[in-house]
Amino acid sequence: MSTQPSLVHRFEPATDTARPPLLLLHGTGGDEADLLPLGAMAAPGAALLSPRGAVLENGMPRFFRRLAEGVFDEDDLRRRTDDLAGFIRWAQAEYGIAAPIALGFSNGANIAASLLLRHPGLVRGAVLLRAMAPFREAPAARLDGTSVLMLSGTADPIVPAANSKRLAALLAADGATVRHHELPAGHGLSQLDVTLTREWIAGL
């Protein structure tokens, strides 16, 4: 047995081992069970690895601290991203899974974007649902061979359109293959998010 994991989590083994595993990263106030239904719909039969964010904000789990709405504590973000990378490596050894596809919503999508930038190649790809650029000045990364799906809401009151476009451009400039859709939606997820995510994962 390997050492204890750094994050409380749920793991559901694959029933279709041909599918890459999903790393599910919840939004503020979610937990390790929150995105399991989405993962099952997006990639039926895939292994699901779903950690709970270790930070509490007014009792609500998050993956990293923020100073205000849309203003991230970047020192904490870097540390928590590195912790998440360690957890992924632990889970790969513990459960015998391949590099996962990160599927993150809101706060979870933001730390997934940070994971791409700080630990290139650790995840096979990423689905970023309602993501923001995680850093004011992003670290240089080589993301050749990494695929990213970004789904933003045109009526999202939390994520400015210019911010999500900046993140998409940044990832593409680092070599990622980025598909960015702006959906007629707010910050919450819609059936279209599920459909586009399922189609994108199936096409990898």
Active site (annotated) includes residue 156: yes
The candidate with the shortest Cα–Cα distance to 153, out of 180, 182, 132, 129, is 182
Which entry of 9, 26, 50, 106 is annotated as an active-site residue? 106
Separation of alpha carbons 152 and 184, rounded Å: 9
Catalytic residue, from 34, 156, 174, 193: name it: 156
Determine the residue type at 139: P
- Give residues with Cβ within 8 angstroms of 154, minimum separation 6: 161, 182, 183, 184, 185
Burial class (CB in 10 A: 0-12, 13-18, 19+), 198: middle
Do residues 118 and 82 lie in contact, with contact meaning Cβ atoms separated by under 8 Å?
yes
Fill in the amino acid letter for 140.
A
Out of 31, 73, 83, 187, which one is annotated catalytic? 187
CA 158/CA 143 separation, integer angstroms: 27
- Closest to 143 (Cα-Cα) out of 118, 164, 111, 107: 118
List active site positions: 106, 156, 187
